[in-house]
Structures are given as C-alpha cells and as structure tokens.
Amino acid sequence: MKTSLATVTLSGDLLEKLEACAAAGFHGVEIFENDFLLSDRKAGEVRQIAADLGLEIIALQPFRDFEALPDEMMANNFKRARRKFELMRELGTNKLLICSNVSPHTIDSTDKAAEDLHKLAQMAAEYGMQIGFEALAWGKHTYTYEQAWDIVSKADHPNLGIILDSFHIYARHSNLELMKQIPADKITLVQLADAPDLKMMDVLQFSRHFRCFPGQGDFAVVEFMQVLKQLGYNDYVSHEIFNDEFRASSARAKAVDGMRSLIWLEDQTRAQAPHIEVKNTSSSHAPAATDLDIAFVEFAIEEKSGQPLVTLLDQLGFTETHRHKSKNVSLYRQGGINLVINKEIESIAHTHFLLHGVSVCALGLGTPNPQQMLDRARHYLCPEFRHQTRPGELNIPAIKGVGDSLIYFVDNSKGAAQQSAAAQQAFYDVDFNEIADASTGAGLKRIDHISQTVTPSDFLSASFFYKSVFNFNCDLNQDLNDLYGLVVSKTLTNADKRIRIPLNMSASIETSAQRFMRQSKGSGFQQIACECDDIFAAARRVDQRYVLQIPANYYEDLDAKYSLPAEQLAQMQALNILYDRDAKGEFFHFYTKEVHGVFFEILQRNGYERYGEANAHVRMACQTKEYKERQERINALLQNN
C-alpha cells in the first residue's frame, strides 16, 4: 500500500505540510489548490522541495464545477483545464481530481457529463495526464459513486477513471456492491476518511467539519479496504480530511496520527481477511496487545506544594511503604493500588512538574511481555523513552503518552520463566527499600478507572492512541452537562475491563474540564477512581473536610427516584455518597475535593458496569461551587494583606 495525505488535512502553510508528511513517513501528497495559491513558492520549487523530502506529488485537487454545463460555459472550463494541466506539468504530477458539479447551472444529463469528461480526457492525454472523477455527496445531480461510475463508464476513455472516497460513499449510505465490480485500473485514486455516525446532519456541513482518520469514527472503513484488496488495487490510498480540530493542531502530530491510522487499517484488514494478499506494505505485523493492568500511577510533586496531595493520600488510607534506594521517590500502597510520589529534582518527573505543577506524570501498565508491548508501540509510531538508571536498577521501557505524560510497561509475569531473578519481582522490590507494611487503610483494593482530560484538538488523537496501540475498545461519545457548557466523554477499555480510561474534553471555557486544563497547563489525568467492597466504611475513614459536599436536594430527589431505605439514605447524605442503579446492579461513590485539579473517586460496584454518568453533572456543579468558595477565600486573604 502506497500512502498519501491531502495537504488540506493539515494546519500551516504548504511547506509546513510537506515537511510534516515527510516526517511521518508518507510516500506522497495531494496538493490542495488553495495551499499552492497561498504559497510564495513557484510550482517548480514546490516540485523540488517535495522531491528533496522524498515525496511524490500524486495529484492536484480539486477542479470544481466542470461537467454538464451549457456549451457557452464549457469553453471557459476547457480553458481553465488547460491551465491546470500546464501547472501540473510544472508540479510534476499527472493526476487531476474533478469533483461533481454543484453549480445551479449544471444540466441533469449523464450523457452530457460523460461527453464533457471524454473531451477533457482527450485533452489530458495530450499532456500525459490522468483525470479522476468523484461524486461529491452534495453534488447537484451526481452525488453517489454509482452515478459517478455510470458517467465514467459512458465516457469510456483510458485517461479517465473514478475516485473512490470512503467518506462520500458512506455519507450517502451507499453499499459497496457496485464497487466490487469496478476494474482496479479504472480507479484513479482512493481517498480515505472516517466520520462519526451523525444522523440527520446536512451532508455538506458533515463533510466540512466532522471527517476524521480511519478508525477514529464509525464508518466501515475496514470493509472498504477489504474490497479494494479483493479488486487488486495496488496504488495510492490518501487521507483527505476536513476537520476543524485538525486545522487547529500541530501539522506534524496530525500527520503521525494519519500514518498510525493507515497502519491500523492495514492491520485490521489483514486480521479480518487474512486470505487477501497485501502488497506494497511492510511485511511486519503488529505484535498482539498482551494482558494489561494498572501497575502504578506516578505523581510529579515537590516538597511544599505537594504536601496537600500527601495529606489526602493519608486520609484515603494509603501508607508510604517503600522509598527509592537512590532517588527522592516514595511508594504509597493500599490493596492492589500503587501510587508513586516523585520529588526527584534530576528526573523527567520534575520537568513535568515545572510544566504542569503537581500532577500525574506517568502511568505504569503491567504486562507479561513488556518487550512485545514496546514493539507494538513502535509499530504504531510511538516515541520511546528510556531512563538513565544506576547499576542494578530497573530500566522500565516507556513511551510518550497523551500530552506530556509517559506510559511505562512493567513486567508483571511473576512465576513465569524469566531471564533474571529481578524480572520475577515487582518493580518496587528491586529499586525500593521497604519501610512499612501496607495497611488495610480505607479498604481500597484496585484502580477502577483513571480519567484523562484533554484539549478538544487532542480528543480524537488520544482516543485513537489507546484504540490502536493498546487495542482498547472505544465507547460512543457522551455529553455531560456542566454548569457552564458541555463536557464530551468517551471511555476506552481493554477486553477484561481491568483498565478503563474515560477521556473528557470541552470547548466551553468555563467548564470544570477547561478549568483543569488551565490549572495543569495542558492535557492530563484528572481523576483516579478506586474500588472498595464497603463504601460506607471507606467514607467514614475520610475526614469530611476532604470530601466533595453534595446538596441535600440531591438526596431528596434520590429518595423519590429509588425509594432507598431511610437509614441508608441518611448515611449516604451524612457521608456525601452518591448513587446510581442499572439493570445489573447498584453503584455507590463519593469524591474527594480537588488537589491541584486532581481528585479521587471512591466507589463500590454491586454488579453495576457503568461509571455513574447520571451523577456527573452533580459532581461538576459541586466542584465548581467548591472552587469558587476557595477562590473567594484566597481573594479575601489577599485583600486583608
């Protein structure tokens, strides 16, 4: 598979886009005409820059409103086309992409459209060029690929073929039956785009704002690729994405996302249809994602500003059980939960602290095969990170995660045959000295989920990072009501749900999510949810000064909704415990107040499988109230001083 990306997909000027495509490893680019028009580079210069970067300019696009116009208008169209062919010769490309006419003057006649395209193909042949015709999903008369193929077939010229664009096909709810009959040599180019399943939206607005890379949406892009393979198509596949978030993001980061998407798409096609021969692609397969769990969560802090977090951990029943042999790093444990508190000045954690303040800087994922997970991460283009360690210390492999966080791969294969005795030990048994036994504390036993708040421009990228690299399942988006806007949430889980990562984002500047983003100066882990067996015992263990206070009105509504026993409801109100119920069971949970924007949730599941989304608006409103009260106290102190 030869890979390309249309420059319209990325932010920046033409040179920035070309450099981003080359850095991500694409073989070619489609030049979007506006990108060239706004560049101060001549066509010959662009051709040379692309060649120096190792990129082939595979097409110029789009050529609009050409076919099936009255004869008096067609003369100018052929004049325009000749100028484009001359430009293409200078650019060093031989494909011109024509999208179906949207002009109100276009004639509803496939015969006329075919006649005009045949004449254009004749002109293209004089220049040694190829024409690709594409049905825009909002075309005036031609808006499905079936109609476009009918016109191309009637035109019957060797220099004319069809463009197959997954977005336009699926946006019009077309099936792939006709596509299976199109000869591969009549496909001029394949363009790829996914999109969320947004029903009843104007198709033009849908196209202009909601396209995304394959795997980031809901379209059947794997089936689309399977059909191409069965046809024997062996040329370029190219991303053409119109998306507001993409154009607000780093061109280089989005180009890497695009290449990761194509790798994922190839892997999925191979996995679901192993009998299909895959050509012109790497022979390497993605190593399987091994069984994973959360080995540790690491906080970057310093002594003074980090003390409120340490105090909160003590309230929640965590014990400092280990200290690092050579670094200012402590381990706090309870049940199966490991929280690393890193105060080391000479560390990547301290750099994270300088950038983001007291914050979660890393997540450790336990796996029976760290090298296999590292190889999988490399396969999906994840930057690797390795520590400087002293002799005898573990050098745990890591990759760059979302934002500035790291993800470590920790060997959890106890009992298996290993290369060394150290590999059979927990990470803290090798690098740390034990100073105390872990107590039962508040009865917390494991991390149930850990939520990450990201920028709107990182939302698709972050969800696809977990989906591709870790093979996580991805839920549909949910809208959560904040007092000052909407928070969009999507949960990613591994197969056995030992790891659950809700992703949250908001474009509304006063929501709790945006408040966290301002405080932490970027994307980060905001919530750590810990499971217990007795929520009431856990809540009694924590001083209520550290617990998020819930209004009495909530409990009156809860009583009306569920008719809970009066004594139980009174205890819940006294301890600020929230409640939800579904067909499979009950859910009890309470929240701590925020410390540097981060908060803990303590929960008890009795068969319940969701996350208490019904109470999300309560939590966010109470957090906002608590934040405002804290700010008022700070302002009062400042005024008094």
Of 406, 434, 462, which closes a domain?
Answer: 434
State CA 343 to chain mean position distance.
30
* pLDDT, tens only, 165-185: 999 999 999 999 999 999 999
How many Cβ atoms are within 10 Å of 585's Cβ, its own excluded?
A: 12
pLDDT above 50 for 428: yes
Q: Name the one residue in this structure whose structure tokens are 């197959």.
A: 164
Is 554 within a domain? yes
The predicted structure's pLDDT at residue 289: 87
Same domain, 19 and 148: yes
pLDDT above 60 for 277: no
- CB-based burial label for 506 (10 Å; 0-12, 13-18, 19+): buried
pLDDT above 50 for 276: no
* pLDDT, tens only, 289-346: 889 999 999 999 998 999 999 999 999 999 999 999 999 999 999 999 999 999 999 8
What is the band of 200 on the pLDDT scale with cuts at 50, 70, 90?
A: low
Is 586 annotated to bind a ligand? Reply is no
Same domain, 299 and 249: no
State CA 241 to chain mean position distance.
15
Whole-number Cα distances in Å, 119 to 25, 75, 362, 488: 37, 11, 61, 50
Of 375, 403, 434, which closes a domain?
Answer: 434
Work out the average pLDDT over 348-375: 95
On whether the CB atoms of residues 438 and 339 are closer than 8 A, the answer is no
Percent of the chain with pLDDT over 70: 95
Same domain, 253 and 300: no
pLDDT above 50 for 432: yes
Q: Name the one residue in this structure whose structure tokens are 């011109």.
A: 96
Is 639 within a domain? no
The predicted structure's pLDDT at residue 507: 92
Is 245 annotated to bind a ligand? Reply is no
* pLDDT, tens only, 520-530: 999 999 999 99
Q: SS3 for 363? A: strand
Same domain, 251 and 311: no
Of residues 310 and 391, the one with the higher pLDDT is 310
173: CATH: 3.20.20.150
On whether the CB atoms of residues 25 and 282 are closer than 8 A, the answer is no
Same domain, 80 and 200: yes
Same domain, 465 and 419: no
What is the band of 285 on the pLDDT scale with cuts at 50, 70, 90?
A: confident
The predicted structure's pLDDT at residue 250: 93
Is 30 annotated to bind a ligand? Reply is no
Is 285 within a domain? no
Work out the average pLDDT over 37-57: 97
DSSP string, 269-329: HHHH-TTS---SS-S--PPP----EEEEEEEE--TTTTHHHHHHHHHTT-EEEEEESSSSE
Rounded to whole angstroms, the Cα distance separating 155 from 632 reads 73
Same domain, 267 and 339: no
Same domain, 137 and 219: yes
Is 641 within a domain? no
What is the band of 438 on the pLDDT scale with cuts at 50, 70, 90?
A: confident
* pLDDT, tens only, 476-515: 889 999 999 999 999 999 999 999 999 999 999 999 999 9
Is 553 within a domain? yes
DSSP string, 226-265: HHHHHHT--SEEEE---BHHHHTS-HHHHHHHHHHHHHHH
**The one-letter amino acid at 91:** L
Of 272, 303, 334, which closes a domain?
Answer: 272
Is 351 within a domain? yes
pLDDT above 50 for 421: no
* pLDDT, tens only, 116-174: 999 999 999 999 999 999 999 999 999 999 999 999 999 999 999 999 999 999 999 99
Is the Cα torsion angle 14, 20, 22, 27 positive or negative in sign?
negative
pTM: 0.90
Same domain, 247 and 361: no
493: CATH: 3.10.180.10
Same domain, 396 and 475: no
Work out the average pLDDT over 425-434: 85
DSSP class of residue 94 equals -
The predicted structure's pLDDT at residue 476: 87
Rounded to whole angstroms, the Cα distance separating 279 from 229 reads 9
Domain count, the chain: 3
Is 526 within a domain? yes
Q: What is the span of the domain harbouring residue 374?
A: 293-434
Is 637 within a domain? no
Is 13 annotated to bind a ligand? Reply is no
Same domain, 505 and 382: no
Among 182, 179, 139, 132, CA closest to 157? 132
Same domain, 476 and 545: yes
Between the two ends of the chain, the Cα-to-Cα distance in Å is 68
The predicted structure's pLDDT at residue 417: 40
